[in-house]
Amino acid sequence: MNWFKISLQLNKFPINRAQKVLREIQQIPEESFLNYIQEKRDAIVIHHLNHNSYYSEFFGKKNFTSWEEVPVMSKSDLQRPLNERLSKGYSKNKIYVGKTSGSSGHPFIFAKDRFCHALTWAGFINRYDWIGIDLNKSLQARFYGIPLDIYGNFMERFKDQVSLRRRFNVFDLSEQKMQAFLERFKRSRFDYLNGYTSAILLFAKYLNKHKIVLKNICPSLKICIVTSEKLFEDDKLLIEAAFGVPVINEYGASEVGLIAFENQQNEWIINSEDLLIEILDEDGHILPNGEEGRVVITSLYNKAHPMIRYDIGDTGTLDIKSTPKKPILNKLTGRTNDVAILANGKVVPGLTFYYVTKSIIEDAGGIKEFLIIQTDLDRFKIEYVSEQEFTSIQVQKILSAIETFVGKNLNVDFERKTILKRNKSGKLKQFTSMI
């Protein structure tokens, strides 16, 4: 029984039509694909200019003449009542309504028309098929957060049941909970894991500590999919060793769907079927492949709500081998707003702190996870979960690395904790600036 497809159909999402359209798009030859993209991107702009008063006002011009003049949207532009942003002919009972997690600091309510939402799921079904996972049959171990209110909790668990997902709550990642996770794997035939990188990594470290390979406990396990948080190459190798299965990197966002998915050649293939991904500089100009810039996304089929040249808040790079039909994401650096501003005016990407301290902290042994918070222009705090306090030698190594790669005259406080605070969705933000 295809429970997943049936659940979409019962909610009036035309998944069969969406899968048919997806197959037709994928059959477009490479030499014609650029024309397809250009036609769809122009058509969605014209649709919203004609049918969406909010977007027409945001666009600011009477006529659409060229793609380059289309303004870039940010989340802050969309933080207004949803009914003010819907196109004519669409109401809340005729669309899919969702909410972002707010991990970038800008949560908001968004909408998709029913066909657009079905096309999103058709894309997921297609990509998961690449790695031998059938969303209608494969049982998922889901490492996510969950709403804490009674109604939200019930609805999420109901969706888990019909979607063949069994949830592992990442809000409690204590040793006792990890043992409970392990017991669930012993008695269940999970096909794959899916969830936040940090939570899955922590479970892998627990297994590694106890010299357990998860596939030996759960032989049905085929693969692990990580999403929503950065995956470092050494962490990927650690997870693969602890789980005994390959790790696949997924990049998506609830408001636009699947953005990129790693194939078995370790290429991060961008979704070119129903999204247009651009890399722009600070002035909004399209950068050539190979250069790093802002990740900007256009949803080509969302007629209910404009997601046009939408700055998702990440920075990344397209591989120089990219083509219109097969764009490849070469690098995803992180959030554009995750930067540290120092007293001398120097601006440093927040993940720089994480990079330069990561190897030192993990070489110390016994460190489960950590994060870095900027509390003032010249002061930072490292919160970490560890079996023991940092020694003075370890602290000095971290301070030296920060001085070398970030700057001098910086004060760093260290705080050992039993558990690190995650956001409402269960994500762990590796760097946060409080200024």
Query: Tokens 């991904």 — which residue?
Result: 277
Q: Tell me the C-alpha distance between 296 and 72, whole Å.
A: 8
Instruction: Tell how strand 257-262 and strand 109-113 pair up.
Output: unpaired
Contacts of 319 (CB under 8 A, 6+ apart): 267, 289, 290, 327, 328, 329, 330
Q: Are 301 and 116 in contact (CB under 8 A)?
A: yes
Among residues 328, 251, 329, 307, the alpha carbon closest in space to that of 117 is found at 307
How far is the CA of 340 from the CAs of 337, 351, 375, 422, in angstroms?
Answer: 9, 9, 10, 20
Residue among 254, 260, 207 nearest 231 (CA): 260
Answer yes or no: are the C-beta atoms of 113 and 303 closer than 8 Å: yes
The answer to whether the CB of 274 falls within 8 A of the CB of 299 is yes
Burial class (CB in 10 A: 0-12, 13-18, 19+), 119: buried
Which residues, in sequence order, are CB contacts of 132 under 8 Å at separation 6+?
222, 223
Contact 71/60 with Cβ under 8 angstroms? Answer: yes
DSSP classification of residue 94 = G
CA–CA distance, 17 with 174 (Å, rounded to integer) = 45
C-alpha 55/C-alpha 61 separation (Å) is 10
Token pair belonging to 206: 């627990």
| Nearest residue to 39 (alpha-carbon basis) of 29, 47, 27 | 47
Task: Look at residues 242, 103, 221 and name the one whose alpha carbon lies nearest to residue 178.
Answer: 242
Q: Which amino acid belongs to residue 123?
A: G
Q: What is residue 140's predicted lDDT score, i.e. its pLDDT?
A: 95
Q: Name 369's bridge partners.
A: 385
Residue 215 to residue 358: CA distance in whole angstroms: 28
Can you list the domains of the chain with their CATH numbers?
Answer: 3-335 (3.40.50.12780), 339-433 (3.30.300.30)
Contacts of 228 (CB under 8 A, 6+ apart): 103, 196, 197, 252, 427
Q: Which residues pair with 298 in a beta bridge?
A: 276
| Helix (H) or strand (E) run with residue 116 in it | helix 114-130
The tokens for 434 are: 């409080």
Predicted local confidence at residue 32, as pLDDT: 98
Q: At 72, list the tokens.
A: 């870039």
Please report, in tens digits, the pLDDT of each residue of the chain (435 residues total): 677 888 888 889 999 999 999 999 999 999 999 999 999 999 999 999 999 999 999 999 878 999 999 999 998 898 888 999 999 999 888 899 988 755 544 557 899 999 999 999 999 999 999 999 999 899 999 998 776 667 667 777 777 776 789 999 888 888 889 999 999 999 999 999 999 898 899 899 999 999 999 999 999 999 999 988 888 889 999 999 999 999 999 999 989 999 999 998 999 999 999 999 999 999 999 999 999 999 999 999 999 999 999 999 888 999 999 999 999 999 887 665 567 888 888 877 676 777 778 767 776 667 888 888 999 999 999 999 888 888 888 889 889 888 888 888 899 999 999 888 887 767 788 888 888
Say what the pLDDT of residue 105 is. Answer: 47
Q: Indicate whether this model's pTM tops 0.75.
A: yes
Distance CA 203, CA 3 (A): 29
Cα dihedral 142/148/152/155 (nearest 10): 40
Mutual angle of helices 175-187 and 197-209, in 10-degree steps: 90
